[in-house]
Amino acid sequence: MPARNDAALAFLKTRRSRPAKLFSFPVPTRPELEEILTAATRVPDHGKLEPWRLIVVQGAAFARLADLAEARARELGGDAEMIAKGRGQYDLGKLAVVVIASPRPSPKIPVAEQQASAAALCFGIVNAAEAAGWGACWLTGWPAHDVSFAARAFGCSAEETVAGIVHIATPPEDGPDRPRPDLARIVTWVEA
């Protein structure tokens, strides 16, 4: 039987998401964040392609992104709610890692698998940050899925997409946990 890592299993079974809007300072230092990113980038990279890139957002960059989101909402004829939702995570951000799915040409590895690798990286960052004692929350929001915003904000090419924006900072005290999936309802066992 393979060796168990009970501490890792206990961590994964008890981890919980906390809203990024409730995060506060301090945030990880650069060396602390580099440790988190080193741990997180041990995801399936599909043939060593590393089909993603990372942008660390902090300080005044949040105000710039909030203004870009508002400007884009206005260009699209958005109402006050769209503007508020677009600005929201940037107005309240402390530190975030933007994961850009950046598929590479490959005859063996489909784009869908490369995009899944970027999503796995987002979750890896969440887990590594929380294992290091920080709060972490994976968000996107409508601006991240807007091609024009993604190009202006993060320099995305036509082939790239924002897989996620992982906010990392000091978490609030634990509140009530959310309901968890009922495995009996969602798991099918196939033996033949």
What distance, in Å, lies between the first and last C-alpha atoms of the chain?
24
Q: Is residue 39 part of a domain?
A: yes
d(CA 101, CA 111): 10
Q: Is residue 75 part of a domain?
A: no
Question: pLDDT value at position 90?
Answer: 98
* Length of the chain, in residues: 192
Q: Is residue 142 part of a domain?
A: yes
Question: pLDDT value at position 45?
Answer: 67
Q: Is residue 88 part of a domain?
A: no
Q: What is the CATH number for 49?
A: 3.40.109.10
What are the start-end ranges of the H helices in the chain? Answer: 6-14, 30-40, 61-75, 80-91, 111-131, 142-145, 147-154, 183-186
pLDDT above 70 covers a percentage of the chain that reads: 98
Q: Which residues of the chain have pLDDT under 70?
A: 45-46, 175
pLDDT per position as a tens digit, 144-155 = 999 999 999 999
Q: Is residue 99 part of a domain?
A: yes
Instruction: Return the ∠ at Cα 154 (arms to 151 and 158), rounded to 5°.
Output: 35
Q: Is residue 181 part of a domain?
A: no
Total number of domains in the chain: 1
Range of the structural domain that residue 29 is part of: 20-59+95-172
Q: Is residue 7 part of a domain?
A: no
Residue 43: what are its φ and ψ, rounded to 5°?
A: -95, 170
Q: What is the pTM of this model?
A: 0.95
